[in-house]
């Protein structure tokens, strides 16, 4: 039992370290978009390989604990939740990389003025991820539920931003490529919030043993139609 406790403590440190790495990568990606900073964008892209390596190591640790110690009850829930959270963090890392790539693409385009809603959505998605990771650190089910409730606000902001971008596109069709890139950034932000919500659900399972999956819509209302429109514009969805 003492050996199992030592292994789970080490696993907790590793998943929290990965969360911090992903959070920093996402922060840099946001700054790359806002500041048109190519150096930060390239740093985020390079960091994704490190995130992937950590994700593999954590998964291997989880499988080793399951095989060697056969944990039960709370310990088993903890390991199972870490496996899921580990995957969510890796996908958020991928989204940070995608945002960084769009930041580089935007440098080659006319600097279209982005709607103020972009900055609001960036702030809200960053906050929801921060709170999801705080819930993980503290194993706080109340904070996890707050994160899950906040996802509806993200969906509303996402729909508002799509409407604003469509208006800009109608008024300024000459800069189609830049506007479509902003559409893709908006999509990545909405997906990011979904993954943060999934982390909160996994924390709730870890703490209370309550499975929350499928309690939220996997795709925001209208998203499928919007993606079909973007496909017609030549946009390829890379979200995870």
Residue 240 forms part of a structural domain: no
Residue 124 forms part of a structural domain: yes
Residue 75 forms part of a structural domain: yes
For residue 103, the domain's CATH number is 1.20.58.220
Residue 16 forms part of a structural domain: yes
pLDDT digits (tens, 9 = 90+) for 125-162: 999 999 998 998 888 999 999 999 988 899 999 999 99
Range of lowest pLDDT (99-103, 166-170, 224-228): 224-228
Find out whether 169 and 179 touch, Cβ atoms under 8 Å. Answer: yes
pLDDT above 70 coverage of the chain, percent:
88
Q: How many domains does the chain have?
A: 1
Buried-state track 53-90, b at ≥16 Cβ within 10 A, e below 16 = ebbeebeebbeebeeebebeeebebbbbbbbbbbbbbb
- Mean pLDDT across 35-46: 95
pLDDT band at 219 (very low <50, low <70, confident <90, very high): very low
Residue 201 forms part of a structural domain: yes
- Expressed as residue numbers, the domain containing 204 is 2-232
pLDDT digits (tens, 9 = 90+) for 18-39: 999 999 999 999 999 988 999 9
Residue 237 forms part of a structural domain: no
Find out whether 133 and 18 touch, Cβ atoms under 8 Å. Answer: no
Is it the case that residue 217 has pLDDT exceeding 70? no
154, 163, 227 from 204: Cα distances, Å: 20, 34, 31
Is it the case that residue 225 has pLDDT exceeding 80? no
């Amino acid at each position: 039992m003492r050996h199992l406790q030592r292994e789970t403590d080490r696993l907790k440190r590793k998943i929290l370290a990965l969360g911090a790495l992903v959070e920093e990568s996402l922060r840099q990606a946001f700054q790359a978009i806002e500041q048109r900073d190519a150096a930060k964008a390239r740093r985020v892209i390079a960091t994704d390989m490190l995130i992937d390596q950590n994700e593999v190591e954590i998964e291997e640790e989880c499988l080793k604990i399951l095989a060697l110690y056969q944990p039960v009850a709370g310990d088993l829930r903890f390991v199972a939740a870490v496996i899921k959270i580990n995957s969510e963090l890796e996908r958020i890392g991928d989204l940070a990389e995608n945002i960084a790539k769009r930041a580089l693409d935007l440098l080659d385009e006319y600097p279209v003025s982005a709607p103020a809603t972009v900055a609001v959505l960036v702030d809200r998605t960053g906050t929801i991820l921060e709170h999801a990771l705080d819930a993980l650190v503290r194993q706080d089910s109340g904070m996890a539920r707050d994160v899950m409730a906040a996802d509806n606000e993200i969906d509303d902001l996402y729909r508002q931003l799509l409407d604003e971008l469509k208006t800009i596109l109608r008024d300024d069709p000459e800069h189609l490529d830049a506007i479509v890139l902003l559409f893709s950034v908006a999509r990545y932000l909405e997906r990011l919030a979904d993954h943060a919500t999934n982390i909160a659900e996994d924390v709730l399972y870890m703490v209370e043993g309550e499975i929350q999956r499928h309690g939220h819509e996997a795709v925001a209302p209208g998203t499928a139609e919007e993606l079909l429109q973007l496909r017609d514009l030549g946009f390829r969805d890379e979200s995870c």
